[in-house]
Structure 1
Amino acid sequence: MPEPTAHHVGITVSDLDRAVAFYTDTFDLDVIAEFNVGGEAFGDAVDVDGATGSFAHLDAGGARIELVEYDPEATRGEQPELNRPGAVHVGLSVDDIDAFYGGLDDGVETLSRPRTTESGTRILFVRDPEGNLIEVLEP
């Protein structure tokens, strides 16, 4: 069997334009690709009859973040919590977490102010406009 390599981290959103604006404005990520996918093979692959997807790939310095808006959109479940099995988050590192925190727009929701963990890593969790969790860390 061929060895897998990481390609991207995917985040499903309800408003692709709003999500792209958040990730490019808040984290200064560059959009490296935008495309749409549909057709029978795509619907079969994602197990959603008649599905189409609008995608944006963002460069996160060695990692690719894929934002995707689906049609049809499923009903929203509970808001993701970190301690719920199956919860996911994206981790992005910064050189100065206090400066990053101080520069956040007032509308960006955070779980707390930056904190230093027992391991010495400084962390901060923010939510994107969809409620998805992003860990910002200063190693």
Structure 2
Amino acid sequence: MDKLSVHHVGIVVSDLEASLEFYRDTLGLSVADEFTLSDDGIGTAIGVDGVSGDFVHLEGNGARVELIEYDPTGVDSRADAINGLGAKHVGFAVEDLQEFYENLPDDVEPLSSPQPVEIGTSILFFRDPDGNFLEVVEA
């Protein structure tokens, strides 16, 4: 059996254009691919009859983030806190976290300012337009 490798991290969003703008313009990811899936294959694969999805794949230094807007949408399952069971986040890295923090748009509200942690780096958490948790680590 072949060893697995990570292909992408998928995030379901409510407004693909608004999320694309955020991930591209605020986080600096570049668009690698855009497509729609609406055949029986996607519905069978995810267990939702008659579903379609608009997808955007974004690249960031070798990591791929997949944004998906489904029709119909499912039940909202966002976590209220980052430490809640089932909570998820996507982690990104930058060289200068303080500079990244200072250049965040006014409508992005971090959970705190960048915080040093005992493993020798600093971290910053905030949410995307749909309330999904994102982390930026100083690398």
Q: Same fold (TM over 0.5)?
A: yes
Partner SS state of residue 101, structure 2: helix
Q: What's the offset of the Cα at 1:99?
A: 0.5
Name the counterpart of 1:87.
Answer: 87
Residue 53 of structure 1 corresponds to 53
Q: TM-score, normalised by structure 2?
A: 0.95
CA positional deviation for 1:41: 1.7
User: Do the aligned partners of 2:57 and 2:66 also contact (CA within 8 Å) in 1?
Assistant: yes
- CA–CA distance in structure 1, aligned partners of residues 16 and 78 of structure 2: 20
- After superposition, the Cα gap between the structure-2 partners of 1:93 and 1:13, relative to the gap in structure 1 and judged at 3 Å, is same
Structure 2 residue identity aligned to 1:10:
G
Task: State the secondary structure of the residue aligned to 2:120.
Answer: coil
Q: Give the aligned length.
A: 139
**Identity value in percent:** 48
Aligned to 1:40: 40
- Structure 2 gaps of 5+ residues are none
Give 1:92 deviation, angstroms: 0.4
Displacement, 1:78?
4.5
2:125 is aligned to 125
Paired with 1:78 and 1:119, the residues of 2 have a C-alpha distance of: 28
3-state SS in 2 of match to 1:109:
coil
Secondary structure in structure 1 of the residue aligned to 2:41: helix
